[in-house]
A and B are shown apart, each in its own frame.
Chain A
């Protein structure tokens, strides 16, 4: 069964898209043009042409390799049928339907009077101890959080009514008056939102909080001022970047997308290693430089605490401010005795609680002021 070369190539781009590489129509067109130039008979050149036109980053390269191998080696045409995608189980704590939770809804009067105080109580409840119905109500309350971005000064100037003299504008003004000296213009350094990096521990010991923390992360990464300057990673046994997934507007869809991206839900904890990978691959290069880095973790470290301490030290030297959020901190009788926390604490600027909506709001305050 023979197919037109274009058909085979376009099929390949579709397979690639199905594998998660964002191949757009114009990329596919470039791919066809590039293959026409190098010649389809040259397998290796086709491979490189595809890599150059269809991939957008190192994350895509591995997927590209696999799909290319599968597409052009196993058979010399279109695949017979593509295996249906197995629906993935997403291990987030999405609210389950719990009939009976709102049974007393007929009693409207009662609800109205109780509402205000119930909301206030819920704000301070530990999110890990909520029932499914309470969780659902809390999820709606995430909308009340107002994240605002920390600011930094930039090299770029903006006009201002005082400050230093803006020679460029002043001269432009005088030019308009045929070179007559005109009024002076002033400028000051501009301001831009500082980058915020969130590292969310999704290991087993944090599983009760993972859902709420991801909702919080979603809220921050879609905030009107913070929006485009937020990067979110999950840490656990490995580091996963979920920034893209959390950009989806709808929190439920965003959480599902994030759930599909993260391979190590409720696994073990290797904080030190994960932070090291973050610093090596992203942070040290610039993502953490001058950024506010927030680590959400209870500090239960399976690996070597010394490594964690070392990496936190590195992180603090690169970042503008390091905030450690521990869900257990706000609870009565908490002492920072876990080895991970002990190792990390000397290298942390703020050590905050993070177990309820109220503490999340506090956290947003601290981040916004950083």
Chain B
């Protein structure tokens, strides 16, 4: 899992089709080498989740994903006991032995908390199967209690299950957290992590990303598409400026329609792939008039 240098990190990510700035590659490399979690923030659609996927692919490790949501708790992130199976097991024991002696009872009880009745949720699974890449997606959606719990796991890479003992990762998993900044994360959690802010890519970079994600699209169309998107991003009156993910969607839908040269008609017909608000659609349509007229 050791990667010698930033350059080779960059190259590895590139082989998976994830093109990133050298700065991001440096931070990723540092996170891997220092065995620290990586906290990614940035506008939606700039490739935060994709980076985790690319890291997993480039290191040839499985990716375990934990999608956070409001109200998520330890039983959904860590582990849970499989109650119905435990009860079935008890019934089966009863039917076979009748469970008379003290000893039998105790043993039956012990057999209930066996590893086979344990449902490993993403975090525990990651610790058990490490080395893996653990992606904690949209951690800002979970509530503070969950953050505290995450902090505990991330600082020791171990989890103790009262009935079973402690599970410790032999190798710390590569942990990537993403956040959309809907709320400020706790400082203690941030301090554990290396921080990276992902910005929208520049023109050349975005064309390259588009070409590598959707190779079927011609260079000329890709350039046209990216130029339009970048101009839209520069405007400040859009509710949700399109991200890279939208650029790729849009280019793909243009390609599916057999477009080789971007024109006004087909562009406005496929706008649904690019902007997701009615107000934005109106504004973008007007802007397209001007952009594509010349």
Chain A residues with a Cβ under 8 A of chain B: 22, 24, 26-27, 30, 33-34, 37-38, 44-45, 47-49, 51-53, 55-58, 61, 154-156, 168, 171-172, 174-175, 178-179, 192, 228, 280, 282, 284-287, 289, 314
Roughly how many angstroms separate A155 CA and B70 CA in the complex, as a whole number?
Answer: 7
Q: Are A38 and B30 in contact (CB under 8 A)?
A: yes
A48, A56, A172: the one within 8 Å of B190 (CB)? A56
Interface string of B100-115 (1 = CB under 8 A from A): 0000010010001000
Interface string of B19-55 (1 = CB under 8 A from A): 0001100110011011010000100000000000000
Q: Are B41 and A37 in contact (CB under 8 A)?
A: no
Q: Are A154 and B191 in contact (CB under 8 A)?
A: no
Secondary structure at the A interface, as helix, strand, loop or mixed, is helix
Q: Are B187 and A22 in contact (CB under 8 A)?
A: yes
- In the assembled complex, the CB of B120 is this many whole angstroms from the nearest CB of chain A, namely 18
In the complex, given contacts A47-B23, A51-B27, A171-B87, what are 12 additional A-B residue pairs having Cβ atoms less than 8 angstroms apart? A37-B30, A37-B33, A44-B22, A48-B26, A53-B30, A53-B194, A53-B195, A55-B197, A57-B41, A156-B71, A284-B240, A285-B181
Q: Does B182 contact A (CB under 8 A)?
A: yes
Roughly how many angstroms separate A172 CA and B87 CA in the complex, as a whole number?
Answer: 10
Chain B residues with a Cβ under 8 A of chain A: 6, 22-23, 26-27, 30-31, 33-34, 36, 41, 69-71, 73, 83-84, 86-87, 90-91, 94, 99, 105, 108, 112, 140-141, 143-144, 180-184, 187, 190-191, 194-197, 239-240
Q: Are A179 and B83 in contact (CB under 8 A)?
A: no
B143, B182, B196: the one within 8 Å of A285 (CB)? B182
In the bound complex, residues from chain B placing their C-beta under 8 Å from that of A284 are: 239-240
CB-defined A-B contacts under 8 Å, sample of 11: A44-B22, A51-B23, A52-B195, A55-B195, A55-B197, A56-B191, A155-B71, A171-B83, A172-B83, A175-B112, A286-B141
In the bound complex, residues from chain A placing their C-beta under 8 Å from that of B181 are: 57-58, 282, 285
In the bound complex, residues from chain B placing their C-beta under 8 Å from that of A24 are: 191
In the complex formed, the residue of A with least CB distance to B241 is: A280
Q: Are A49 and B30 in contact (CB under 8 A)?
A: yes
- Of all A-B residue pairs in the complex, the 5 with the closest CB atoms, nearest first, are A286-B182, A155-B71, A179-B90, A52-B194, A156-B71
Q: Are B83 and A175 in contact (CB under 8 A)?
A: yes
In the bound complex, residues from chain A placing their C-beta under 8 Å from that of B194 are: 30, 34, 52-53
Q: Are A286 and B183 in contact (CB under 8 A)?
A: yes
Roughly how many angstroms separate A285 CA and B44 CA in the complex, as a whole number?
Answer: 9
- In the assembled complex, the CB of A282 is this many whole angstroms from the nearest CB of chain B, namely 8
In the bound complex, residues from chain B placing their C-beta under 8 Å from that of A51 are: 23, 27, 195-196
Q: Are B27 and A48 in contact (CB under 8 A)?
A: yes
Q: Are A286 and B30 in contact (CB under 8 A)?
A: no
Known contacts A51-B23, A171-B83, A175-B87: A57-B33 contact under CB 8 Å: no
Q: Are B26 and A45 in contact (CB under 8 A)?
A: yes
